[in-house]
Amino acid sequence: MEVSAVSLTAVLLAAGASPSPTSGSPSDSTSGSTAPAVPTLRDAQENATNAASWVQQNLSTWLAMALQIVLIVVIAVALRALVLRAITKLIARMNRSVQAVDQTALGGLLVNTERRRQRSEAIGSVLRSMASFLILGTAALMVLSTFKINLAPLLASAGVAGVAIGFGARNLVTDFLSGVFMILEDQYGVGDTIDAGVATGEVVEVGLRVTKLRGDNGEIWYVRNGEVKRIGNLSQGWATASVDVTVRPSENLDRVKATIAEAGEQMSKEEPWSERLWGPVEVLGLDSVLIDSMVIRLTARTMPGTSVGVERELRWRVKRALDAAGVRIVGGTPTPADEEETPDPSASVAPPSTFSDASSPQSLSASPIPTQPQGKK
């Protein structure tokens, strides 16, 4: 018994506790009322047991949450990588198809390689950003929901912030969305000549917010995509060259038509007009007939962006052909050589004389002075 009492006392002293006081000691009774209670070994064992049981009870929940979070992150990263890889392959396939068409005979005329490349890169950038935002945003929300966080206030705050940002930067959002749809719909691209309403020129760069145009005088126009209400693309498909020839109404129409058709056929066989003309020069017929002239219209389908040059060359050749055939073109103020000289019917009639009227002052002043009789004074 003495050995067991000594060992218990040693254990309590090692745990930082003092031996329990006896009831017969008056000094101990007075000090026990003011000193705090010292935990015993049993209390420490109970606390350790409770902590171990709490950890054991929640360990499975923690492991399940960690596994769920890791699974969400892995799936999100893998899905994002697969989607980005698919987008990259799609863009590469688009570029290969453009290069294949560019190697054909008419590839350089129908396809602008740089235009298609920039368009495909812009589409790929937009698709990558959208895919990353959707996948990673969804994964973040799922991770927050795993921690039992109420997402309703967060989503409500994000919605309010989005509305405020939308009102404050509505022009920026409008420009961005307009640029995305312009690129996806392929309304225009680099190298195209467009009429955007606010400016006209050749497209230098197509962005999601601003489109750069180079005008005829070399100036650069920065056009916001949201301000473009209509677009006239002068470089897609084909263009039309129209020329009006005005001749005198006395000319032989069959002769004039044959002369113009011969000039157009000769032009279509010569370089570089044989590449710029995508169809024969057609004489449509009389556009208008007036008293002193008649207008003959001819058209030709041309390569996009070359209609003005074709019209100038066509006028030059038609004028030379008609001059060689003796057909005069009417235009501007007629010269005296173009008008037929007709005799003036009033040239053979003498102008009226003032002396024909006896009462005129000229006749009275020219009449002789009458003589008076000699008998009268």
The greatest distance separating any two alpha carbons of the chain, rounded to the nearest whole angstrom, comes to 211
Task: Please give the pLDDT value at position 355.
Answer: 54
Q: Which amino acid is at 356?
A: S
Check: CB of residue 118 under 8 Å from CB of residue 211: no
Q: Which amino acid is at 185?
A: E
Task: Please give the pLDDT value at position 82.
Answer: 93
Q: Distance (Å, rounded) from C-alpha 212 to C-alpha 224?
A: 9
Residues with Cβ within 8 Å of residue 72, at least 6 apart in sequence? 139, 142, 143, 146
pLDDT digits (tens, 9 = 90+) for 267-315: 888 888 888 888 888 888 888 888 888 888 988 888 887 888 888 999 9
Question: Higher pLDDT residue, 103 or 162?
Answer: 162
Beta strands 232-233 and 220-224: pairing type?
unpaired
Average pLDDT of the segment spanning 214-221? 88
Checking phi first, is residue 197 left (phi over 0); if not, alpha (psi -120 to 50) or beta?
left
Task: Please give the pLDDT value at position 75.
Answer: 92
Sheet with 200-206: list strands edge to edge.
Answer: 220-224, 210-214, 200-206, 193-195, 232-233
End-to-end CA distance of the chain: 206
Categorize the per-residue pLDDT at 122 as very low, low, confident or very high, splitting at 50, 70 and 90.
Answer: confident
Average pLDDT of the segment spanning 12-21? 45
Q: Distance (Å, rounded) from C-alpha 192 to C-alpha 114?
A: 11
- Per DSSP, the three-state class of 340 is coil
Question: Higher pLDDT residue, 143 or 166?
Answer: 143
Task: Please give the pLDDT value at position 37.
Answer: 60
* Least-confidence region, from 22-31, 108-117, 302-311: 22-31
Categorize the per-residue pLDDT at 2 as very low, low, confident or very high, splitting at 50, 70 and 90.
Answer: very low
| Nearest 10 degrees: Cα torsion 151, 152, 154, 155 | 110
pLDDT digits (tens, 9 = 90+) for 71-99: 999 999 999 999 999 988 888 887 776 55
Q: Residue written as tokens 């129409």?
A: 253
Q: What share of the chain is helix, strand, coil (3-state, %, to 5)?
A: 55, 15, 30
Task: Please give the pLDDT value at position 21.
Answer: 45
Q: 10 Å Cβ neighbour count for 69?
A: 15
